[in-house]
Amino acid sequence: MKVVIVGDGKVGFTLADQLAKEGHDVVVIDKNKAVLNQLSEQLDVMVIPGNGASLTVQREAGVGESDVLIAATSADEINLLCCILGRKLGCKHTIARVRNPEYAEHMYFLKDELGLSMTINPELAAAREIFRLLRFPSFLKRESFAKGRVEIVEIDLKPGNPLVGKSLMQLQQVVGVRVLVCAVQRQEEVHIPTGSFVLQEGDQIYVTASSSNLLQLVRSLNLIRLRVRNVLLVGGSRIAHYLGLMLTESGISVKIIEMQQHRCEELCELLPKATVVCGDGTDKQVLLSEGIEQMDAVVSLTDMDEENLLVSTYARHLQVPKVLTKINRMEYIDVYREMGIGSAISPKLLCATDIVRYVRAMQNTTGGAVLAIHYLVDGQVEALEFTVTKGTKYLGQTLTQITLKPDLLIACINRRGTVIIPKGSDTLEQGDTVIVVSKGSHTIYDLNDIFA
- Express each pLDDT in 295-307 by its tens digit: 999 999 999 988 9
Whether 29 and 5 have beta carbons less than 8 Å apart is answered as: yes
Residues 70 and 49 grouped into a single domain = yes
- pLDDT for residue 224: 65
Residues 105 and 143 grouped into a single domain = no
- What residue type is assigned to position 253 of the chain? S
- pLDDT for residue 105: 63
> Could you list the residue range(s) of the whole structural domain that residue 101 is in?
2-120
Per-residue pLDDT tens for 403-430? 988 888 999 999 988 889 898 899 999 9
- Residue 66, pLDDT > 80, answer yes
Identify which has the larger pLDDT, 441 or 179: 179
- pLDDT for residue 110: 65
Residue 172 lies inside a defined structural domain of this protein? yes
- Residue 70, pLDDT > 60, answer yes
Residues 398 and 428 grouped into a single domain = yes
Per-residue pLDDT tens for 306-336? 899 999 999 999 999 999 999 887 766 666 6
Identify which has the larger pLDDT, 106 or 79: 79
Per-residue pLDDT tens for 329-367? 776 666 666 666 768 888 888 888 888 878 877 765 555
Domain boundary (90, 120, 150) is at 120
Give the residue among 21, 26, 120 at the shortest CA–CA distance from 71.
120
Residues 109 and 21 grouped into a single domain = yes
Residues 151 and 249 grouped into a single domain = no
- CATH number of the domain that residue 71 is part of: 3.40.50.720
Residues 106 and 25 grouped into a single domain = yes
Residues 186 and 294 grouped into a single domain = no
Residues 142 and 216 grouped into a single domain = yes
| Cα first-last separation, the chain | 25
Say whether 363 sits in a helix, a strand or coil: helix
- pLDDT for residue 285: 95
Per DSSP, the residues of 61-108 read TTGGG-SEEEE--S-HHHHHHHHHHHHHHT-SEEEEE---HHHHHHHH
Identify which has the larger pLDDT, 94 or 441: 94
How many structural domains comprise the chain?
4
181-185: average pLDDT: 91
Residue 339 lies inside a defined structural domain of this protein? no
Residues 42 and 65 grouped into a single domain = yes
Per-residue pLDDT tens for 240-266? 999 999 999 999 999 999 999 999 999
- pLDDT for residue 150: 87
Per-residue pLDDT tens for 124-161? 989 998 998 898 877 878 888 877 788 888 888 888 88
- Residue 235, pLDDT > 70, answer yes
- pLDDT for residue 113: 66
Residue 294 lies inside a defined structural domain of this protein? yes
Which pLDDT band holds residue 369 (cuts at 50, 70, 90)?
low
- pLDDT for residue 112: 64
Which pLDDT band holds residue 280 (cuts at 50, 70, 90)?
very high
Average pLDDT, rounded, for the chain: 87
Lowest mean pLDDT among 102-106, 197-201, 253-257: 102-106
Lowest mean pLDDT among 130-134, 184-188, 211-215, 307-311: 211-215
Provide the 10 A C-beta neighbour count for residue 144.
16
- pLDDT for residue 98: 87
Residues 10 and 100 grouped into a single domain = yes
Domain boundary (59, 85, 120) is at 120
- CATH number of the domain that residue 376 is part of: 3.30.70.1450
Residue 338 lies inside a defined structural domain of this protein? no
Per DSSP, the residues of 270-325 read H-TTSEEEES-TT-HHHHHHTTGGG-SEEEE--S-HHHHHHHHHHHHHTT-SEEEE
Residue 330 lies inside a defined structural domain of this protein? no
Domain boundary (320, 352, 375) is at 320
Range of 53-62, 105-114, 381-390 with top mean pLDDT: 53-62
Which pLDDT band holds residue 10 (cuts at 50, 70, 90)?
confident
Residue 355 lies inside a defined structural domain of this protein? no
Residue 156 lies inside a defined structural domain of this protein? yes
- Residue 87, pLDDT > 80, answer yes
- pLDDT for residue 55: 93
Residues 238 and 312 grouped into a single domain = yes
309-317 contact pairs (CB < 8 A, 24+): 309/336, 309/339, 309/341, 310/282, 311/234, 311/281, 311/282, 311/287, 312/341, 312/342, 313/339, 313/340, 313/341, 314/284, 314/287, 316/340, 316/341, 316/342
Residues 138 and 194 grouped into a single domain = yes
Share of the chain above pLDDT 90, in %: 42
Lowest mean pLDDT among 23-27, 104-108, 280-284, 333-337: 104-108
Q: How far apart are CA 100 and CA 130, in angstroms?
A: 19
Residue 328 lies inside a defined structural domain of this protein? no
